[in-house]
Amino acid sequence: MENINQTEGILSDHTSLLDGDQLNPLSDVLFIVLLYKNEEFKARAPYDIEILGKKMWEWVALAGDGAKIKTTPCTKDTDIVAMVKPFVNNEKYTVVLYSDTPLISRANVLEILDYVKARDLNVLRLKRGFVFNSKYLLNCESVLASENKLFDGQEFEMVNNFDKVQNVTKVLKNMILDFHKANGVQIADDVSTFIDADVVLEKNVTIEPNNHLKGKTYIGENTVLEPNNIIKDSIISNNVVVKASYISNSRISENTIVGPFDKIIDKNI
């Protein structure tokens, strides 16, 4: 992953495969994530705090999937209007969100845009961001709009300390677990099971207590993860049993039993 200080971000020029497709409601949207360095976090840039395999700003960027996404640093003294104007090209709308709202979702963004379009608004001020008609943005000098109270739920809450990071982690963790359970994955214990955002689980996977699936891991059909495994950036094929083992950057072939107590790093088994 590229260093955020050396680039505008790994998602800076990201565009969805749906771009140009009539099914993509964000194809005419510029989506800007403000990399906000909240001084309350003291020792580190909060937008780089990792939550279940993604940095906090990346969770915000996911809400703009299908739009043209840019990232840019800012502080509490930044003139937001002046800063984002140079990014505007031909997009009809510009959505600007701070990097400290990792619970905001694409559904939230679509709802907000529908509200703006239905009322033909030039600017909508959110609790942690703005939505602009891009033509208006290019010609205005400042934002005078009052905050819209319709969009101030937990999705828009600012994460400005590590207690809130912990709370957000719990919410996102449960969302990930619920997603996989709805797709046919059996999870024995929600409390002790941790699954990163980019992990892919096929149907009929069984996950017993105290399993940590990290990074870009793939688990094939009918695989059983017995208790006490850590699997990171690895491919586990179909019909595998993993027993109390550590697997990193490796590939496990079908119909294999791993462990107990194996340590597999950079291998094909």
177 neighbors 197 (Cβ within 8 angstroms): no
Q: Output the CA angle 263-266-267, nearest 5 degrees.
A: 80
For the chain, give percent helix, strand, coil, nearest 5. 25, 25, 50
CA distance 26 to 94: 10
What is the 8-class DSSP label of residue 71? E
In this structure, the number of other CB atoms found within 10 A of the CB of residue 211 comes to 22
pLDDT tens, position by position, 208-265:
999 999 999 999 999 999 999 999 999 999 999 999 999 999 999 999 999 899 999 9
- Per residue in 166-205, pLDDT tens? 999 999 999 999 999 999 999 999 999 999 999 999 999 9
What one-character DSSP code corresponds to residue 228? S
Please tell me the pTM assigned to this model.
Answer: 0.86
CB 69 within 8 A of CB 6: no
Whether 108 contacts 157, CB under 8 Å: no
